[in-house]
Amino acid sequence: MKIVMIGQKGIPTLFGGIERHVEEVSCNLAQRMDSTGSPYQVFVYARSYYTPKRIKKYKKVNVVHLTSLKTKHLDAISHTFLASWHAIFKIKPDVIHYHGIGPALCVWIPKFFSPRTKVVFTFHCRDYFHKKWGGFAQLSLKIGEMIGCYLADEVIPVSLEIQEYIKKKYNRKTNFIPHGVSQEKYISAEIIKKWDLEKDNYLLVVSRLIKHKGIHYLIEAFKKIKTDKKLVIVGPCFYTEEYEKKLKEMAKNDSRILFLGTQHGKALKELFSNAYFFVNPSEQEGLPFTVLEAASFNKTLLLSDIDIHQKMFEDLPFFFENKNIKNLKEKIEFLLKNSQIVYQRAKKLKDYARENYNWDKAVERTILRYI
């Protein structure tokens, strides 16, 4: 069976939740046999600026490089449009799997021009709530959502919240399949010592620097707290240079606040492993990978009280009122003063993640949607 993944920037992952999802699913699929006893042939489209062109194959997954119009509004849709036609006429797959509501704008292409191809759409997030998008972009994303939910043969929401929304909005039956997480082991601080980081001497947030991620609330709250611990912010901007500049301006007089940009591999694992606890102050999410990863690294979670955060681990995380800087400050101070509670809660979160977020199960359930 030939399976094509479209919508992601590429693999291996540098940053991005969709990219991590596609990498895990595609690499897991490529190790398996289909019903005929043949290996799944998996193709992942990559954008030329994200995945080096020398990477033609990654863990048995075929990486197909295509260009895109690298602007804030045209990057994703131009790449998806080209990939859709390329898949139909060059690869001729059995399944085209679109990821994200923006790329779902192109679901009509295989539906009308390659009707034998099964079209699957994973609904990751309601991206039109993101503050980086203007009115036209928001409308386009809503149209993509509608096209994907109405035309795709299978719709996969990554959270129960999104599944409920699709049922209410489109009266569409869907199959909820959450992300998985790898079971991570502790890695001692080595690389991160160059930033004067060591075990438990910093709080961690891993996020793209986009306004709806709420990093400005976290910086404002942290600046008001008396502590020797640092605040480590990991992640790039993505067509949001002005917001990144604003964040660094906010933090410029506080040497405890560190911006480390994009990190991956061992450095990122060290950062997760040695953090005192993990914070996600986001205003809106689909099913945030970094939160799952933090739990898999045995970290306590401090999260904004948006619906998806409250459903991910039931009542095990600590929550603060979304956008409320005063309440966020109070919760950080509580955790700073109660290390025993922090460590006890971390163990429960790790156990919950292991039991409820499993990549093998996610891939097995995805394969059922391909048949």
**Tens digits of per-residue pLDDT, 215-229?**
999 999 999 999 999
| pLDDT reported for residue 62 | 97
3-state secondary structure of 63: strand
| pLDDT reported for residue 77 | 92
CATH 3.40.50.2000 intervals, the chain: 2-177, 191-356
Quick one: CATH architecture of 191-356?
3-Layer(aba) Sandwich (3.40)
In the predicted model, what is the mean pLDDT of residues 350-370?
92
| Top-confidence residue, 111 or 284 | 111
**pLDDT at position 13 over 90:** no
- 277-280: strand order across its sheet: 257-261, 230-234, 202-206, 277-280, 301-304, 318-320
The pLDDT-based confidence of 74 (bands split at 50, 70, 90) is confident
For residue 157, CA distances in Å to 2, 131, 206, 226 come to 22, 22, 23, 42
| pLDDT reported for residue 110 | 97
pTM: 0.82
Task: Indicate the residue type of 90.
Answer: K
| pLDDT reported for residue 131 | 65
In the predicted model, what is the mean pLDDT of residues 186-197?
96
**Tens digits of per-residue pLDDT, 15-60?**
778 998 999 999 999 999 888 888 999 999 999 889 999 999 999 9
Beta bridge partners of 33: 39
In the predicted model, what is the mean pLDDT of residues 279-300?
93
d(CA 91, CA 33): 19
| pLDDT reported for residue 135 | 84
In the predicted model, what is the mean pLDDT of residues 148-156?
96
In the predicted model, what is the mean pLDDT of residues 323-337?
98
**pLDDT at position 99 over 90:** yes
**pLDDT at position 129 over 80:** no
Q: Is the backbone peptide bond immediately before 39 cis, with ω within 30 degrees of 0?
A: no
In the predicted model, what is the mean pLDDT of residues 166-177?
94
The pLDDT-based confidence of 239 (bands split at 50, 70, 90) is confident
d(CA 241, CA 247): 10
In the predicted model, what is the mean pLDDT of residues 189-215?
95
Q: What percent of the chain has pLDDT over 70?
A: 99
What are 62-70's contacts with CB under 8 Å, separation 24+?
A: 63/10, 63/11, 64/91
| pLDDT reported for residue 237 | 84
| pLDDT reported for residue 294 | 96
In the predicted model, what is the mean pLDDT of residues 265-279?
96
Quick one: CATH architecture of 2-177?
3-Layer(aba) Sandwich (3.40)
In the predicted model, what is the mean pLDDT of residues 202-211?
94
| pLDDT reported for residue 72 | 76
